[in-house]
Amino acid sequence: MKHIFVSLCLVLFVMTGCKKEKSEGTDSMATTSAENKDQMAENIYQYQVTDLYGESFDFSNLKGKKVMVVNTASECGLTPQYEDLQKLYDSYKDKNFVIVGFPANNFGGQEPGSDAQIASFCKENYGVTFPMMSKISVKGGDMHEVYHFLTEKEKNGLQDSEVAWNFQKYLLNEQGELVMVVEPRTLPTDPSIVNWIETN
């Protein structure tokens, strides 16, 4: 009887240890899964920038809206796209869609002006009313952090890209996640963009 009792005690001890080990392993897996989820959750809402008028612009205020981010220039062959951008904004601004413009002087020195000059140019020539940010760099060593997010798969979870020229468009869904990169020559009113805006 004594031997049987000792054997039973050993079995119970081993089983208890296994359960504990399994529980600890499960907890570890749950923690890792949560960490991965946090890493995957990066979106544009974490960024705050400054607009053309020196005011703070918080991307988190755009939650629930589809967003187009576009780098602009005042002296480019594609500058007339401002007109199409404004038409698109006028058509869908009340339907949870917004355009955010970032003037940049990275291509051919085609955006040489100050923020005040850019604001005046946009208003006087194209009647721009969508949000326009302070001039930044969209490539190279001084690339703005928003464009690191837009162009690096490690951050945006979709793809690596490089801004090819002025008026490249980045489309983000209602959760602030990058879903599409549109090359510069594609007009803002292209059916592929309009269909994306209209699709729930």
Q: CA 94 to CA 129: how far, in whole Å?
A: 13
- What secondary structure letter does DSSP report for 134? P
Q: Which residue has the tokens 């399994």?
A: 22
Q: Which of 9, 18, 76, 122 is catalytic?
A: 76
Helix residue ranges per DSSP H, 41-135: 81-92, 115-126
For 175, the enclosing helix (H) or strand (E) is none
18 a catalytic residue: no
CA geometry: angle at 83 spanning 91 and 196, to 5°? 45
CA distances from 139 to 43, 96, 142, 192, 199 (A): 19, 29, 7, 26, 31
Catalytic residue IDs: 76
